[in-house]
Amino acid sequence: MRLTAAEQRMLDGGDGPAKQKAMAGLVQLGRAFGAERMVEIGYAHIHAGMALYLHDVELMEDLAELGATMAVPSSVNIANADTVNWQATGAPEKLARLQQRAADAQNRMGAACTFTCTPYWAGHWPTWNTHMTSIESTVTIFCNSVLGARSNRDGFFAVYAGITGRYPLFGYHLDENRRGTHLVRVDTPLRSITDFSALGFHVGRIVGEGVPVFEGFERRPSLDELDALGAALATSGGVALFIVPGVTPPYATAAQAFGGRVPDEAVDARRADLDAVYDYFCTRDDGVFDIVHVGCPHASFEEMKEYGRLLDGRRIADGMELWVTTSRPVRRMAEEAGIVRTLERAGAKVISDTCPISCHFARTVSPDPELGVVPPPLRAIVVDSAKQAKYVRDMIRCDTLLTGTAEAIETALTGRFVRHGRAA
């Protein structure tokens, strides 16, 4: 790789051991992917340091001890515990305190402790052509596809990029890779945000790591709908960029998205395809469940308002547990607007920093026995997100019941599972 004088100085240790360690990792990454040089980035969404793994927290502490600081504006991804409201989730106190240690390290490094998978709702909004980096697939695909920023799915290298302000120039940072590979014709009205999630899950399974170009929406999708679409595409496939002409910068037409010629064949997305996703994630015939969860990806302020509208003046059924997950900044806005009060009066738990698949419910990890983490025996979780449904199965290893947002809220209110399309 060709390095600038400043980059070579970092690699040689002239800017301290933290930058040297980070640059060495990025050079290794760049060589592995054939990058010819680095590019300056303007934003990084980085690893939280997950408290279910003691060594993960210690890794962030070691970087802070080396003197690492973020060279660009940086936000922090979702964590294993709500360090402020950990009792509401039943998390062990030791887990919450260990997560706070990671937060302390992040603060020392100058990162914004958003602890969310949707930092754009918390004010981190990289603009068109901003080179950036992200550990979270939902952030990558939203920023690429809706904002026109440039990001790969980066893993821990996002931390190193944040420290140096550099990233190897490959993948979706290059114009030639930001072109459509599959045409998708949407041949059904989409009735809810969850329908967009089901659409994304259906298409992601077909296109894999491709770049789907969507046609046929009856109207311009909202930001929340685009968020749900991208999160599901990145879950069932390896999609990091989708294109909606007229929405995704700079593509005004499908022909532009494909670089000139629109494919003759298309991936069809019909109502039966969406219904099949709902059916795939409804795996309990008896409708038994333990928790209703909305807010995956972490809810926006607009979604919080919708939850408040659906729950205003009502109360969830006895024995029900309703989780609403969102970021700290959005929660604060919702508190000031009186929305959190409405949700909590209805019996909902408003949780930040984490979510069911990222908390102590996970059965795919082996935490330190001293943390006292014992995943509860969950039979099923009602969700309104195909992404969450997939990871509940994979990580919590319990059944799922996928339905629309209004139906999920109605489920919590009545104590009986309400299937999608059947909200009161």
Q: Give pLDDT, residue 200.
A: 98
DSSP 176: G
Tell me the per-residue pLDDT of 347-363, one tens digit each, with 9 for 90 and over: 999 999 999 999 999 99
**Which residues face 323 on adjacent strands?**
293, 349
Q: Give pLDDT, residue 424.
A: 54
- Is residue 68 within 8 Å of 331, Cβ to Cβ? no
Tell me the per-residue pLDDT of 320-340, one tens digit each, with 9 for 90 and over: 999 999 999 999 999 999 999
Sheet holding 212-215, edge to edge: 212-215, 182-186, 267-269
* Average pLDDT of the segment spanning 78-99: 94
Q: Give pLDDT, residue 365.
A: 83
Exposed e or buried b per residue across 379-402, where buried means at least 16 C-beta atoms within 10 angstroms of its C-beta: ebbbbbbbbbbbbbbebbebbbbb
Backbone angles phi, psi at 372, to 5 degrees: 70, 30
Q: Please give the span between the terminal C-alpha atoms of the chain, in angstroms, as a whole number.
A: 60
In CATH, what number does 5-175 get? 3.30.499
pLDDT at 422 over 90: no
How is domain 282-414 classified at the CATH fold level?
Aconitase; domain 3 (3.30.499)
**Side chain identity, residue 149:** A
Domain boundaries, the chain: 5-175, 179-279, 282-414
Min mean pLDDT across 39-43, 84-88, 368-372, 394-398 is at 368-372
Q: Which two tokens mark 183?
A: 């045409």
CA distance 102 to 85: 16
Residues in the chain: 424
Q: Is the pTM higher than 0.85?
A: yes
CA distance 220 to 226: 10
* 5-175 and 282-414 have identical folds: yes
- Is residue 52 within 8 Å of 95, Cβ to Cβ? yes
